[in-house]
Amino acid sequence: TQLLEQSPQFLSIQEGENLTVYCNSSSVFSSLQWYRQEPGEGPVLLVTVVTGGEVKKLKRLTFQFGDARKDSSLHITAAQPGDTGLYLCAGDRTGANNLFFGTGTRLTVIP
């Protein structure tokens, strides 16, 4: 059973398009992190959100944490081929330090 479900699982878009990736759970998390993983490498942290309703921006990437701290979204504006990769959300449950990872969204941006 996956604590964190991501959608869509696969996404292939043209360069310049916008996209949104979702991360949903029935559990409450004290914080939620987004990672990007490239082939042959481990996941690398993009952002951490900790407050319900929080919005963080990282250049063309916008991250939002749900008010109830159960879900999150990642929006990419004007996607570029360099955005291609596996995007993973990970939740840190309250009182614990073990990270649970979502199912992942594999994004391909076509030039």
Partner 1 sequence: DAGVIQSPRHEVTEMGQEVTLRCKPISGHDYLFWYRQTMMRGLELLIYFNNNVPIDDSGMPEDRFSAKMPNASFSTLKIQPSEPRDSAVYFCATKLSGTEAFFGQGTRLTVV
- The residue (of 66 and 104) whose beta carbon lies closer to partner 1 is 104
Q: Which is nearer to partner 1, 35 or 70 (CB)?
A: 35
- DSSP for the chain reads --SSEEE-SEEEEETT--EEEEEE-SS-EEEEEEEEE-TTS--EEEEEE-STT-EEEETTEEEEE-TTSSEEEEEESS--GGG-EEEEEEEEETT---EEE---EEEEEE-
21: contact with partner 1 by CB under 8 A? no
**Of these, 18, 27, 45, 58, which contacts partner 1 (CB under 8 A)?**
45
Instruction: Give the footprint of partner 1 on this chain (CB under 8 A).
Output: 2, 33, 40-45, 48, 88, 90, 97-104
